[in-house]
Amino acid sequence: MLLITTSRRTSNRVRTFIRDLRTVFPNSERFNRGGMSLEELRSRIIASGCSAAFVVTHYKGNPGDIIVYDSSGEERLRIRLESAVLRREVLPGVKIRVNNVASVVVAPGSSDQTTSLAREIASYLNLPIVMGTIDDIIDSEGTNSVAIHFSDTDAGKTLWTYYHVADGTEVGPRMRVKSVRWPERNE
């Protein structure tokens, strides 16, 4: 299970973005952080028994970073977003129900950043990684399932999005990742 929340004092667009994330991670819990301090957030993460928590910050009203905390409340990585496209902008007027995430797909020849990010996300969800294209995972029996897709853009960024397994339709949200930073560990 994942916990999904925002930084304090966020924007409506970021709230919509975390609702979109909750939709494509069906076994997750979204909650309003409100005035919760970082220590209170860590306590909630530990008490929940979740595998990870995503805290979405904002930058000029848009999603800025996704800070990922592990089950012990320690920061595991910081994903800097260049842009985020909401589900309603990816597939206007269409609502697709998502019951589960089938797999994590990494495009062939992807960069180390893209591959490492995909592995990290797959580990929190206990999902297999498929090296291939979306066409490799299309399954007509995959009703209400999505695959998380990671690939490189021409500009050297990571593209992170979601595809419906039954027909390969992109359902969003779509994120362009500028950088991924793993904090130094003192072990």
pLDDT digits (tens, 9 = 90+) for 129-167: 999 988 888 887 767 889 999 999 999 899 999 999 988
Task: Examine the pLDDT at 170 and tell me if it is beyond 60.
Answer: yes
Let me know whether 30 and 69 are in one domain. Answer: yes
Domain co-membership, 67 together with 132? no
Once rounded to an integer, what is the mean pLDDT over residues 2-8? Answer: 87
Helices (H) and strands (E) in the chain, counts: 4, 10
Pick from 123, 80, 99: which is nearest to 24 by CA? 99
Question: Same domain, yes or no, for 63 and 104?
Answer: no
Give the count of domains, the chain.
Answer: 2
CA–CA dist 43, 98 (Å, integer):
29
- Same domain membership, residue 137 and residue 170: yes
* Within a domain: 73: yes
* Same-domain pairing of 123 and 73: no
Q: Does residue 6 carry a pLDDT above 60?
A: yes
Check pLDDT > 70 for residue 7.
Answer: yes
Q: What is the CATH number of the domain that holds 53?
A: 3.40.50.10480
Residue 41, domain extent: 2-78
pTM for the model:
0.90
